[in-house]
Amino acid sequence: MHLKKLAICACAASLALTVACGKSQSTTPVSPSASADAGAIDAGPDGSTLKVTTPTPVSPVNNEQPDGALVLTATKAAGKFADIPVSYEFEVFNAVNQRVYTSGVTGGAGAGANNVSHTVGGSLEFDQPHTWRVRGVFQGAVGPWSASASFRTPSGGYIRGAEIFDPLSNGRTVGTPVGPTQFVAGKGLELMAHESRLTYALPETLVEGELSVMVTGIDEGSPGDKSKIFTMQEGFGDPTTNDYRFTVEKRGRSYVVPGAVTFRMITGNASNHDSINDGFRTGVAFSDERWYFWKATWRNGFAAVEVREDGPHGRVIYNSSVGTDGHPYRPVPHVVHLGQPPGRGGPQDASIPGAIYKNLWVSSRPRPAFPGE
């Protein structure tokens, strides 16, 4: 009898332990298939393995056509049973529903934000219909895809306030071509003579920021003397004596050191030597078949120029900075030239015949991704 009671007690204890263990299991934010070795049979009907809400596209939608960089924005995905740090995956499809871009897993929204945004970095056809979608991701598990949103890729190019975005490789420009120029298919805009240039007048002065552009078709044998890659100035007078001159130079075959790179920035008074600031001058070997990334940056008290091979992330072949006199750079109106109008030094000191430009960016904001970079 005594043994029988012990057996009954043991069974009861075992049952209680089983129930208690079952109740102690916590509810996780993912379904059973969220583990690394889970099979697709545990996924939901839509293939999702993460218990989060479905994001909703905010912009661009309804065939909108944004200017400049393509930024995809959607509402955040939230955990249904727990607050989790959700990352995201974005996809873009062309008109025949072929996927042409995927972001991979990207960071989530900032604290307190209602939406998450992602800037598309890659080459999409200009001015064409596309769709996009997004889903939440957490520790390898994926939430449901959003509905697809329709949009049209940017036509390419704008001048807005103190900002210029001009790809040029799409056969159009928002600038004003002066002198003989031509678009080269698949490349950009070619300047065909020393007098040629592409001119932009900014509606607002860019007191500090950057001017960056891709250039090919130049080398030490290019015709010219103190030739200019690009120029900024106040108004449309002689750039050589301009009070707000900023010239970036790749000197030509007529100069004593062909291919030498340098720059000059004047901040407010071209007749005052203290306002004239010159970068380091050195010879650089170029290939006229290679693309080069040229970037000037400036702010109160500082100016710099760098040149890289092949693109914004290529090898640096020139880098120089100078302190300025503390006077702000504030030309009114603020005019930008790819190349330069002939000045006091004549056409030999102006643009480089044969230089081809693409992917111009002028702004206080970071440079966006351009097609082909």
What pLDDT, in 10s, does the model give residues 96-114? 999 999 999 998 877 778 9
The CA distance from 282 to 220, in Å, is: 12
Q: Hey, what amino acid is at 10?
A: A
Asked if residues 268 and 326 have their Cβ atoms less than 8 Å apart, the reply is no
DSSP string of 320-345, one letter each residue: EEEE--S-----SSEEEEEE---BTT
pLDDT of residue 121: 74
pTM of the shown model = 0.71
The per-residue pLDDT for range 191-219, each reduced to its tens digit, is 999 999 999 999 999 999 999 999 999 99
H/E run at residue 151:
strand 149-152
Section 122-131 average pLDDT: 86
The CA distance from 303 to 208, in Å, is: 9
Instruction: Please state, rounded to an integer, the average pLDDT across all residues of the chain.
Output: 88
- Residue 273 pLDDT class (50, 70, 90 cuts): confident
Chain length of the chain = 373
Q: Which fold has domain 40-152?
A: Immunoglobulin-like (2.60.40)
pLDDT of residue 287: 97
Judged on CB neighbours under 10 Å (0-12, 13-18, 19+), 99 is: exposed
Question: What whole-number percentage of the chain has pLDDT above 90?
Answer: 73
CATH hierarchy code of domain 158-363: 2.60.120.560
DSSP tag of 223: S
Domain boundaries, the chain: 40-152, 158-363
The CA distance from 185 to 198, in Å, is: 17
Section 236-255 average pLDDT: 96
pLDDT of residue 44: 74
The per-residue pLDDT for range 315-367, each reduced to its tens digit, is 999 999 999 878 899 999 999 999 999 999 999 999 999 999 999 999 999 99
Which residues make beta-bridge pairs with 118? 72
pLDDT of residue 42: 59
